[in-house]
Amino acid sequence: MQKIQNYIDGKLVDPRSGNFLDNINPAEGKVYSLIPDSDAGDVADANAAAQKAFPEWSAMAVEKRSANLSKIADLIDRDLEALAVAESVDQGKPVSLARVVDIPRASANMRFFATGAIHFASEAHITDQEAVNYTTRTPVGVVGCISPWNLPLYLFTWKIAPALAAGCTVIAKPSELTPMTAYLFSKLCIEAGLPPGVLNILHGLGGKVGQAIIEHPGITAISFTGGTVTGKKIASTAAPMFKKLSLELGGKNPNIIFADCDFEKALSTSIQSSFANQGEICLCGSRIFVERSLYQKFVDAFVERSKNLTIGDPADEKTKVGALVSQAHMEKVLSYIDLAQKEGGRILTGGKQVRVSGRCANGFFVEPTVIVGLSHECRTNQEEIFGPVVTIMPFDTEDEVLAYANSTTYGLSATIWTENLKRAHRVSARVKSGIIWVNCWLFRDLRTPFGGMKQSGVGREGGWEALKFFTETRNVCIKL
């Protein structure tokens, strides 16, 4: 059985304890590899390596740092197919999705920040001809990057690329559920000649090795993407230590469809924003609000399209909905479908686990599920389900739908469908979300600020925001 290893000080090593955990293929429901059960001892080793590497990496000419990271991007492109297959096996997503979204985006992340760092300028302010202020931004030091399981290599690189580009050295932990592509990535770093200790990747349990990263006094900043409950725990450890913190957390995003929308575009994109990656994307629009005059037409067409989505073997090119990431997660999703029924919801399609034939007979598959008849206030519409489950609700006025949209504790993203430009601006300004898409979804420009309001997070990633996060700002004022 394949054994994944930690990447510390430029080498692949077993965890100090010698203990390994099972890694499960969610489409087959069986163990297919082993991952290190790392602990505080491994964090100490990684920290020693990262501290040793920091002076040279942070002082390296930015073009040289950039070349190192671009080389890794080239190797990701070279290995695209193998990485896509590995991501699909490890996570359960269709390989066709990993091939066009996850892996291309991972190399784009590396290249974007590799080149971005070259253009990351400092500022100067002349004060009334009497003084010159100049502002410098220097790398904060050794940082911790912790990422979730839904878009494994995509979100892993989204964090480490700006950290490395800014000149920090990094200790990173992917989710224990999806460690494989981060492991393959560590091999690419070795091949690319990344200096030892610049990036260290530790595998294992969040509450054990993840928590040890957060607690380590040598690690000065934490960039975390994951659930809101974990985010709170991380903040409660890191804040009293005055660590810099960036938290990208959960969402319960509204998808608002006005009657004057382009119906076909709204419909087909809403199918994607509901069920892409089995609904396991923090930006999925899990609450669909449709203006009453369009409601029935939209519901009928949406249910029809949902029924036609091919569920099954992620390796099959025709599959649109793969396996959920784990049995525990599948049970959580199914329990929310139960809850929705208890709360008075009516299931128009889906609602059940799918038994796929052949090698995937024991996999964790759930039908795309559409629920109507619920109030915006019920738990099903307030809590993040993170699976292929959406609710559809009618509304009559803008004020009403804004009250519904803003009624959760989350504020990550929102989607608005209307051909009325004034309305698009008006509603965008009043939805309490950090990311708003009008007449599109998940249309990304990596320069834009990315992150949520309320309990969806603290801080923003993307573009200069990310490079600023990983640097310490110093202003020097010189009197003329």
* Closest CB to ligand NDP among residues 26, 206: 206
Alpha carbon 477 to its chain centroid, in Å, reads 39
* Closest CB to ligand NDP among residues 50, 249: 249
Q: How far is the CB of 347 from ligand NDP (least distance, A)?
A: 23
* Closest CB to ligand NDP among residues 175, 220: 175
Measure the CA–CA gap between 308 and 103, rounded to whole angstroms.
27
372 contacts 289 by C-beta, under 8 angstroms: no
* Closest CB to ligand NDP among residues 351, 452: 452
Catalytic hit among 87, 176, 248, 280: 248
Alpha carbon 446 to its chain centroid, in Å, reads 14
Measure the CA–CA gap between 480 and 451, rounded to whole angstroms.
41
SS3 for 399-425 is: HHHHHHHCCCCEECEEEEECCCHHHHH
Instruction: Enumerate binding residues for ligand NDP (CB under 6 A).
Output: 146-150, 155, 173, 175-177, 205-207, 210-211, 214, 225-227, 230, 233-234, 248-251, 282, 384, 386, 412, 452, 457
* Closest CB to ligand NDP among residues 26, 312: 26
With 0-12 CB in 10 A as exposed, 13-18 as middle and 19+ as buried, what is 172?
buried
Catalytic hit among 145, 282, 284, 360: 282
Q: How far is the CB of 174 from ligand NDP (least distance, A)?
A: 6
Which residue in 6, 5, 10 sits closest to 169, CA to CA?
10
Q: How far is the CB of 213 from ligand NDP (least distance, A)?
A: 6
Q: How far is the CB of 24 from ligand NDP (least distance, A)?
A: 13
- Rounded to the nearest 5 degrees, what angle is found at the Cα of 152, between the Cα atoms of 148 and 156? 80
248 catalytically annotated? yes
Residue 390 one-letter amino acid? V
Query: CA Rg, the chain, in Å?
Result: 23
Q: How far is the CB of 248 from ligand NDP (least distance, A)?
A: 3
* Closest CB to ligand NDP among residues 266, 435: 435
Q: How far is the CB of 189 from ligand NDP (least distance, A)?
A: 19
Q: Could you tell me the maximum CA-CA distance found in the chain, to the nearest angstrom? A: 78
Measure the CA–CA gap between 118 and 23, rounded to whole angstroms.
39
Helix, strand, or coil here: 453?
Answer: strand
Q: Two tokens at 448?
A: 């834009």
Helix, strand, or coil here: 37?
Answer: coil
For residue 283, which phi and psi values (nearest 5 degrees)? -100, 0
203 contacts 35 by C-beta, under 8 angstroms: yes
Q: How far is the CB of 312 from ligand NDP (least distance, A)?
A: 23
Residue at shortest CB range from ligand NDP? 206
* Closest CB to ligand NDP among residues 290, 323: 323
Alpha carbon 215 to its chain centroid, in Å, reads 23
284 contacts 388 by C-beta, under 8 angstroms: no
286 contacts 389 by C-beta, under 8 angstroms: yes
* Closest CB to ligand NDP among residues 9, 384: 384
Q: How far is CA 135 from CA 52, 65, 295, 409, 470, in A?
A: 27, 22, 54, 37, 15
Q: How far is the CB of 146 from ligand NDP (least distance, A)?
A: 5
**CA end-to-end distance (rounded Å), the chain:** 69
* Closest CB to ligand NDP among residues 106, 290: 106
Q: How far is the CB of 153 from ligand NDP (least distance, A)?
A: 13
User: What are the strands, taking DSSP E only, across 186-339?
Assistant: 199-201, 221-225, 244-248, 254-257, 287-291
- Active-site positions? 248, 282
